Amino acid sequence: MRKVFYSFHYKRDSQRVSQVKNMGVVEGQPILSANKWEEVEGGGEAAIKEWIATEMSGKSCLVVLIGAQTAGRKWVNYEIIKAWNDRKGVLGIHIHNLKNLNGDQDTKGGNPFGGISVGDKSLSSIVKTYDPPYSTSTYVYSHIKDNLEAWVEDAIAIRARY
């Protein structure tokens, strides 16, 4: 089973992210509780970077779980750049149609790779972003679960070519 690092907007999407993590298709880092994240955050930028480096170590791929407000977030951008520079596979999956604990879906977010360049190319022209073709949460869940492993393998192969 591949080990991945999940990148996402914590406050808005942690419940959706937990669904993806609990699929058991790939192994991701532990999702911190709000209190634990505040503890890391309280240590400042150096502590956050250290936590990211520790959790990203030994992972072969970064999976950006894209919600309504993921694109452009400081730490998501940092994680994308770090993973790319560390030669890890990188991919994105839109999760806005997964329901949260209140049964709510969200609006589709922008591509988080569009604002990041690698040489003279936008990372969005290299990295694949997947948007499950369903609006029903259970179908979205099944689509991600059925394809996540292959998407990770493809992302690793793409990164090996660049």
- 113-140: pLDDT as tens digits: 999 999 899 999 999 999 999 999 999 9
Please give the Cα distance from 7 to 44 (Å, whole number): 19
Query: Looking at residue 55, what is its pLDDT?
Result: 96
Sorted by sequence, the CB contacts under 8 Å of residue 54 that are 6+ apart come out as: none
Residue 34 has pLDDT above 90, yes or no: no
By the 8 A CB rule, do 82 and 123 touch? Answer: no
Please give the Cα distance from 95 to 64 (Å, whole number): 10
Residue 37 has pLDDT above 90, yes or no: no
Least confident among 25-39, 44-58, 60-74? 25-39
Which residue is listed with tokens 């690092």?
5
Sorted by sequence, the CB contacts under 8 Å of residue 13 that are 6+ apart come out as: 65, 67, 70, 95, 106
Please give the Cα distance from 55 to 11 (Å, whole number): 19
Which residue is listed with tokens 């099944």?
142
H-helix or E-strand spanning residue 77: helix 74-85
Query: Looking at residue 146, what is its pLDDT?
Result: 98
- Find the mean pLDDT for residues 56-69: 98
Starting at the edge strand found earlier in the chain, the sheet holding 61-66 runs 27-28, 3-7, 61-66, 89-94, 128-130
**DSSP class of 59:** -
